[in-house]
Structures are given as C-alpha cells and as structure tokens.
Amino acid sequence: MARTVAGLVPFTSIDFPGYLAAVVFFQGCPLRCPFCHNPNLQPLTDSTQDWSTTLNFLKTRRKRLDGVVFSGGEPLLQSDLPHMLMQIKDLGFKTALHTSGVYPEKLKEIFPLLDWVGLDIKGPWDKYDILCGRKKMAEKVQESLKILIESELNFECRTTCDPKNLKPTDILHIAKDLKSLGVRTYALQKYHTFPEDKNPPSLLDIESFFSHEALGPVQAIFPQLIIR
C-alpha cells in the first residue's frame, strides 16, 4: 500500500503526553465509528501530501520538537510504517502512535520503534460492533491491549465520550474493566461535533460525562484520570 499522508499538524502539546510534537495523519481506516470527527480520513484514497514532503518538513523541526505522532485514520494500515518510523527515529525524534488496536500483530511488529501508544477504547466490549461499524473488532482490540499491558511500552487507553452511543455508566464499566486488566492510564475525550453530523448532541449531553457525579466514581478507579 502506498504511503497515504492526509495531512500534518506542525505543533501539538496534547497528542504526545509530556512532549512537543507534530502529528502526521494517514488516510484510511477499516472502522466506521458513528462519532468519528475525521470521516474524510476513512476511505482509502490517494495521498494529499507526499511522504518525502512531510519528511523534509520534519527535518526542519529538529531541535524545535521532541517527537512525531502517527495518527489517522488508522496508521497501522500503512505497509511502510516501520520504514517511516525508522526515518523519524533517525532524525532524533521520539515516536508515538494513535491506533484503534484492530491490527494487533502489526502493532507488535513495530514495538521497538515506538516510545508511546494511545489506544482507543470505543466503548464496552458488548457495544463494539455498533461503535465500530464492523463486527468482531472487540477481540482484536483486546489482543492489542494484552500486548501493551505485557510490554514495557508507555501507553494510555482513551475513550471518546459520545453521548449518542454511550452513557456515563458505560464509562464507569470501561474503567473498571481496564483497571482489572492492569491499565494504569485512562483518558476521557470530549465529543466534538463535525460538519457531517446532521443531528449533533447538545452541549449539556456532551458535558454530562464530566459532572462531579459522573467523574467521581471513575476517578476513584483512576485517580490520575486525564480529561481532554
């Protein structure tokens, strides 16, 4: 598969915890999550930016940035991902990956080239088919999670609090499950509306996950709960 670079954010302080980084977005994702705020990145289409152009830009960011985040879409779809990560490492950057976790074997292959992983947990396992738009994805994500837990790699699990498909009680259920498996870092991400959303939730519904009543029980499980 060709390197399908979809875009680049030249600076972020939140996508790679503890580091200043650039984010490279890749085109293509096998999932069809109803709350995806980048639906334009789902289809596998031609690149809007050449990888060599992206790499040349990143060369100018040395000593200004600490790392580079590979995001999407689903970056593990890229057949040249190991080579691209090695190129980034050769520039002296730390590397991070944002992934849905549906390609556990590919994730395991690139472990030596990663410094941090952000693993999306879409919802409770029994809701995964609906939340991913595809069947039997929960097993893949659970396998990726097991690989991460058993590794020494720094990672976080994070859930987008989509009020159309999740309830605060779902978040509590996820938190209890992740803690029991050995996850140490959990982040909750606020739902962001997007132009293609014809029936966006209200601000009240979006904020319902972050009230004291909703957050209290989750923070009891993860005292250092991250809110984005």
pLDDT band per the 50, 70, 90 thresholds, residue 1: very low
Contacts of 55 (CB under 8 A, 6+ apart): 84, 87
Query: pLDDT tens digits, residue range 192-205?
Result: 888 777 888 999 99
Domain boundaries, the chain: 5-156+167-172
The span from the CA of 52 to the CA of 49, in Å, is: 9
The span from the CA of 7 to the CA of 55, in Å, is: 12
For the residues 19-42, what does the mean pLDDT come to?
88
The span from the CA of 162 to the CA of 171, in Å, is: 10
Among 3.20.20.70, 1.10.10.60, 3.40.50.2000, 3.40.50.150, name the CATH number for the domain at 5-156+167-172.
3.20.20.70
Q: Taking the CB of residue 111, how many other CB atoms lie within 10 A of it?
A: 14
Query: pLDDT tens digits, residue range 40-84?
Result: 788 777 656 789 999 999 999 999 999 999 999 999 999 899 999
In Å, how far are 4, 29, 98 from 49, measured between CA atoms? 8, 17, 19
Residue type, 110: I
Give the DSSP letter of residue 90: H
Structure tokens at 216: 């209290």
**Is 134 within 8 Å of 153 (Cβ atoms)?**
no
